[in-house]
Structure 1
Amino acid sequence: MNRFESFLSNKLLPLSSKMQENNVLGALTEGFIRTSPATIGSAFILILANFPIQGWLDWLQKIKIADSLSAVANASIGIMALLAVYNIAFAYAKRLGCNSQNAGLISLASYFILIPQTITTFVKENGEWVSNQIGAVKFDYLGGQGIFIGMLVALLITKLYSSLSKRKFTIKLPESVPPMVADSLAPTFIVTIIFALVCAVRIAFSFTGFHDVFNFITSVISAPINSVMANPLTMIMIQVLLSFLWFFGIHNAVLSGPLSAVTLTMITTNIQAFTSGDPLPYGTAFMIYSVCGAAGNTMGLIICLMTSKSKRYREMFKLGALPTVFNITEPLVFGLPIILNPLYFFPMVLSPLISGFVSWGLITTILPIHYNPTVENIPWTTPGFVKFALSGGISYLLIYIIITVLVTLIWLPFVRIADKKELELERKNNEQKEEEESENHIHA
């Protein structure tokens, strides 16, 4: 372990630090960190709204507050793409030396230009149902499915805004004009150019079979998934792919369409076979898929954070532990951050890979499970130890515990290195603060 940690400290940690100094990667990291207040703040309310007790859920519906609780999630995690666009653009503009607020607003407006802004509904006229176009924006484009495109928009638009600003495309106003007004009017020509280019992109995609850039990204990424069969190996690879994409900021929601087609088929077929007393055709595959865990199986990461020494990591444990227990990983993914942090790439991708093959071996050899697929219908926020105990009894719960221990060991050396780095930074900051206070005291 010590030799491995030495390798991480001498090789991977310097690479991580160097990459964080890069303007683009630094802006992405800062941008995602700045979104964490919204994700952390809503996580606990999301747990409350989806607490895995049917009587509680029925009571929320009865007193008519379920929709209001869901609105909190929609206004935070549901608009994560919008939060990311503005904050990434703001952080990137700061590094490029241009107006951060203008860059954030222009990027956000550009993102909305690309979003489909009509929804087809059906109304009854003269006894027949006819289609009707209304002006509206789906939450699908504002949340997880739009994060990847939001990253690209924020970086490209901010870079273009910075380049045009440096080429003096701004409007020169008299010095008598208040600075706030001057800053607002100066980029008028630049904004016109940027909006025209973004609109051209929107028009170009409207003439393709994809119709919009969002559908293009989703289709290109999702295409390989549509052609695979639901078997244990495929399920493991899908979870590895999800973790890989999540590391680069591509939310699992991007693959929700094709994955739902696969997983819902598996669940429905398994339930039909279960109620008929027949063997489950996808029982092993879905159990392995569930054990792999999303986002690098972050329960192991939370356990590692329990022993952290730096103040920042101790606080992240306090803020991220409860949401992670209820399968809400955004506070950790954005708060540490894990996204685009080279130090966490290997545990993020290796955790589902190793978990999948180990659980596959255990299920098919020494720990066979009498699996009840009907439990898959309980809310997704159900803690893992509860869900596995209900759906597979003591054997499945034991596998969950074994995998959690294994994943903890995978995350441990990486977390210890990162925690050590944070602790050193905190010590340096404290020493610098003490020196400044001492100097101020002497001068006083």
Structure 2
Amino acid sequence: MSFDSFFAKFERIFMGPMTKLAQQRHLLAVRDGMISTIPLTIVGSVFLIIAFLPVPQAWNESIAFFKFLKTHALTIMIPFRVTMGLVAIYATYTIGYSLAKSYELDGKSGGSLALMAFFMTTLPQAAYSVMNAMKSVTLADGSDVMVLTADQLTALGLVIPMDRLGGAGLFVGIFTAIVAVEILRFFEKNNLVIRMPDGVPDSVARSFSALFPAFAVMIVMFGFLVIARIWPILDLHTIFSAVFSPLKKVVDTPVGAVLIVLFITMLWAAGIHGVSIIGTIVRPVWLDMLDQNAQAHAEMLQFGTTNITSYITPEPFFQWFIWIGGSGGTIGLVLWLLVARSRYLKELGKVTFLPSIFNINEPLIFGLPIMLNPFFFVPFILGPVIVTIFTYVVMSLGWVNAPFALAPWTLPGPIGAYIATGDWRAIILNIVNIIILAVIYYPFMRAYDTKMLKEEQGEAVA
């Protein structure tokens, strides 16, 4: 089978469904909503790193600056708690907003209804059982007071449990955002809304048009709440945790990581933005894993906890150790372009080197090109697979810390790797992976360079 016929068959069987999936309205809303949380998670990660700088323990005891950081770590962690710790809230609103806008509905109404629906899922116990559990305590002055525990305050809706507002609540947030906006769309589509006269300001008109949908969303979510009170096993967070916990375990295996890399690189090789499709599906899982790693890292450094299991493959695993220079790990290819014999390839190397340092490789993918190019199909897929397996083994053996922080993706690889893991050994791993990628790309690049050189020499003779 020729390369062209292989790609024709691949496009017919695989690309059609993937293209439709990439254009699916709800997945696009999830993608846009999750991407909008990236600045917040980066900011939170920065404060987590500042609170627990990766320096020798002796520095924390002897140097005033580091001693100050250690003493005030809980205060410094507050920005982390209100960003990463509340990421489900931000994602729920932005997903609801994006989905509503895609239907040409009011985005603010969609986001607000999504938030209301989500908050209705966060109260885990029945109020009457809490009231029965209240205890009377006699104070020193002889007066009696009723005492509520933190769990009881939570159940009464006076305190919202933080564990459902971070990464663990993302899937419920996605679900409630979709439910809320679809209800809003149903009412708008069937004209079951209050229409105000033309002279009424738009902001007021939007508020009244969302009134009936808001009642409907509340009734639906209250129904879920009542069901969860009667049968706690049917609590939405419990259900989604049971469904997606196995998915996290699969994603955090070598096989799961390799499959993600294969799908992304094969899509890119065919000219489709693989990360935008696969990332849309997997990113909520990645963010949940990263959130748990960050919490575990903070506990380990603050309380000396050692029996905490970290996930190896949240998104920074791929960003800083696999996609070095961009999808396909093309930094290894760019290095060879700089010393190519072909004039075109050498000039392309000069143009693409700087963007590749900052993990931007679209000029290379479309300028070489890599997509639909039989010379680079194999290394573009094989290289990332090899370094995925190698990196997973290194981290599973504890030679390099698993990622716990989200660094800006445009940072140079070694810097981003260090920030994401807080481990200087990650810099070495990043550089070793670049060498591995360069070795894998070399024979294919050499063959393509020879081909291009012959074509240039033939044109010169002609």
Deviations 1:390-415 (A, max 9, x none): 9xxxxxx977755565579999xxxx
Q: 2:258–2:389: 8 Å Cα contact kept in structure 1? A: no
Deviates more, 1:115-124 or 1:93-102: 115-124
Q: 1:117–1:137: 8 Å Cα contact kept in structure 2? A: no
Q: 2:403–2:421: 8 Å Cα contact kept in structure 1? A: no
What is the CA–CA distance in structure 1 between the aligned matches of 2:244 and 2:224, rounded to whole Å?
20
Query: What secondary structure, in the 3-state scheme, does the structure 2 residue paired with 1:185 have?
Result: helix
User: Do the aligned partners of residues 252 and 385 (structure 1) sit closer, same or farther apart at CA in structure 2, a change above 3 Å counting?
Assistant: closer
User: What residue is the counterpart of 1:47 in the other structure?
Assistant: 49
Is structure 2 residue 113 aligned with structure 1 residue 106? yes
User: What residue is the counterpart of 2:174 in the other structure?
Assistant: 151
User: What residue is the counterpart of 2:323 in the other structure?
Assistant: 301
User: What residue is the counterpart of 1:332 in the other structure?
Assistant: none
Query: What secondary structure, in the 3-state scheme, does the structure 2 residue paired with 1:301 have?
Result: coil
User: Do the aligned partners of residues 315 and 179 (structure 1) sit closer, same or farther apart at CA in structure 2, a change above 3 Å counting?
Assistant: farther
User: What residue is the counterpart of 2:24 in the other structure?
Assistant: 22
The Cα of 1:161 is off from its aligned counterpart by 0.6
User: What residue is the counterpart of 2:102 in the other structure?
Assistant: 95
Is structure 2 residue 196 aligned with structure 1 residue 168? no
**Structure 2, gaps ≥5 residues long:** 140-146, 262-277, 298-305, 335-347, 361-378, 406-416, 442-462
Deviations 1:212-259 (A, max 9, x none): 211221123336989x9xxxx995357669998984333357579999
What is the CA–CA distance in structure 2 between the aligned matches of 1:22 and 1:225, rounded to whole Å?
23
Deviations 1:103-154 (A, max 9, x none): 1101111100111267999999579x99561121122211211112211221
User: What residue is the counterpart of 1:180 in the other structure?
Assistant: 203
Is structure 2 residue 68 aligned with structure 1 residue 62? yes
What is the CA–CA distance in structure 2 between the aligned matches of 1:222 and 1:304, rounded to whole Å?
29
**Structure 1, gaps ≥5 residues long:** 264-270, 273-285, 322-346, 364-368, 391-396, 412-444
Q: Which of residues 32, 35, 40 is equivalent to 2:34?
A: 32
What is the CA–CA distance in structure 2 between the aligned matches of 1:56 and 1:359, rounded to whole Å?
30
Deviates more, 1:93-102 or 1:28-37: 28-37
What is the CA–CA distance in structure 2 between the aligned matches of 1:258 and 1:385, rounded to whole Å?
14
Amino acid at match of 2:26: V
User: What residue is the counterpart of 2:221 in the other structure?
Assistant: 198
What is the CA–CA distance in structure 2 between the aligned matches of 1:225 and 1:22, rounded to whole Å?
23
What is the CA–CA distance in structure 1 between the aligned matches of 2:285 and 2:259, rounded to whole Å?
11
User: What residue is the counterpart of 1:251 in the other structure?
Assistant: 285
TM-score (norm 2): 0.55
Query: What secondary structure, in the 3-state scheme, does the structure 2 residue paired with 1:298 have?
Result: helix
Deviations 1:276-325 (A, max 9, x none): xxxxxxxxxx99x85x675552213243376699x9x988975x89xxxx
User: What residue is the counterpart of 2:373 in the other structure?
Assistant: none
TM-score (norm 1): 0.57
What is the CA–CA distance in structure 2 between the aligned matches of 1:385 and 1:102, rounded to whole Å?
39
Amino acid at match of 1:250: P
Is structure 2 residue 79 aligned with structure 1 residue 72? yes
Q: Which residues in structure 2 correspond to 1:5-404 (within 5 Å)?
A: 7=7, 11=11, 18-53=20-55, 54=57, 59=65, 62=68, 64-116=71-123, 131=149, 133-134=152-153, 135-210=158-233, 212-222=235-245, 236-237=254-255, 247-252=281-286, 297-299=318-320, 300-304=322-326, 354-355=386-387, 357-358=389-390, 380=404, 383=418, 387=423, 389=425, 402-403=432-433
User: What residue is the counterpart of 1:336 in the other structure?
Assistant: none
Amino acid at match of 1:102: S
Deviates more, 1:75-84 or 1:209-218: 209-218
Deviations 1:402-439 (A, max 9, x none): 5565579999xxxxxxxxxxxxxxxxxxxxxxxxxxxx
Percent identical pairs in the alignment equals 18
User: Do the aligned partners of residues 317 and 32 (structure 1) sit closer, same or farther apart at CA in structure 2, a change above 3 Å counting?
Assistant: farther
Q: 1:385–1:400: 8 Å Cα contact kept in structure 2? A: no
What is the CA–CA distance in structure 2 between the aligned matches of 1:150 and 1:187, rounded to whole Å?
20
User: What residue is the counterpart of 2:338 in the other structure?
Assistant: none
Aligned-pair Cα RMSD in Å: 5.5
The Cα of 1:355 is off from its aligned counterpart by 5.0
User: What residue is the counterpart of 1:415 in the other structure?
Assistant: none
User: Do the aligned partners of residues 410 and 130 (structure 1) sit closer, same or farther apart at CA in structure 2, a change above 3 Å counting?
Assistant: farther
Aligned positions, number: 335
Amino acid at match of 1:23: R
What is the CA–CA distance in structure 1 between the aligned matches of 2:164 and 2:430, rounded to whole Å?
34
Amino acid at match of 1:297: F
User: Do the aligned partners of residues 211 and 27 (structure 1) sit closer, same or farther apart at CA in structure 2, a change above 3 Å counting?
Assistant: closer
What is the CA–CA distance in structure 2 between the aligned matches of 1:33 and 1:245, rounded to whole Å?
10
The Cα of 1:96 is off from its aligned counterpart by 0.8
Amino acid at match of 1:47: I
Amino acid at match of 2:109: N
What is the CA–CA distance in structure 1 between the aligned matches of 2:74 and 2:96, rounded to whole Å?
32
What is the CA–CA distance in structure 2 between the aligned matches of 1:360 and 1:30, rounded to whole Å?
29
Query: What secondary structure, in the 3-state scheme, does the structure 1 residue paired with 2:323 have?
Result: helix
The Cα of 1:90 is off from its aligned counterpart by 1.1
User: Do the aligned partners of residues 259 and 39 (structure 1) sit closer, same or farther apart at CA in structure 2, a change above 3 Å counting?
Assistant: closer
User: Do the aligned partners of residues 99 and 407 (structure 1) sit closer, same or farther apart at CA in structure 2, a change above 3 Å counting?
Assistant: farther
Query: What secondary structure, in the 3-state scheme, does the structure 2 residue paired with 1:114 have?
Result: coil
What is the CA–CA distance in structure 2 between the aligned matches of 1:316 and 1:109, rounded to whole Å?
43
What is the CA–CA distance in structure 2 between the aligned matches of 1:143 and 1:52, rounded to whole Å?
24
Q: 1:92–1:155: 8 Å Cα contact kept in structure 2? A: yes
The Cα of 1:87 is off from its aligned counterpart by 1.1
